[in-house]
Structure 1
Amino acid sequence: MTFGSKDLSFYSQFIKQKYNEFFMKFSVYKQNKNILCDSI
C-alpha cells in the first residue's frame, strides 16, 4: 500500500473536518449547559 501526498492531504482534511464537527458540538453543548445553569 503506497501512501502518497494526495492521500495524506485527504486524510488531514478528513481529520480537520471531524475535529471541526466535534468542536462545534462541544461549544453548542457548553452553551446549552450555561443556559441551563442560568435558568435554574
Structure 2
Amino acid sequence: MLRAEDLRAFFSCMQGILLYEKCYFFLCFKVFVLTLQHIL
C-alpha cells in the first residue's frame, strides 16, 4: 500500500502542474509509476 507521505508528495506534485511547466507532470508521473511498480 502507498504510504501517506507518498500520496502527499504525489498530490503536491500534481498541484505543481498548475504552477509550473507541463513537463513537470511527466516527471511526477514517471516517478509515480515507478513507485507503483515497486509496490506491486
- From the CA coordinates, give the structure whose radius of gyration is larger: 1
Q: TM-score, normalised by structure 2?
A: 0.49
Q: TM-score, normalised by structure 1?
A: 0.49
Higher RCO, 1 vs 2 (CA within 8 Å, ≥6 residues apart): 2
Structure number with the higher helix fraction is 1
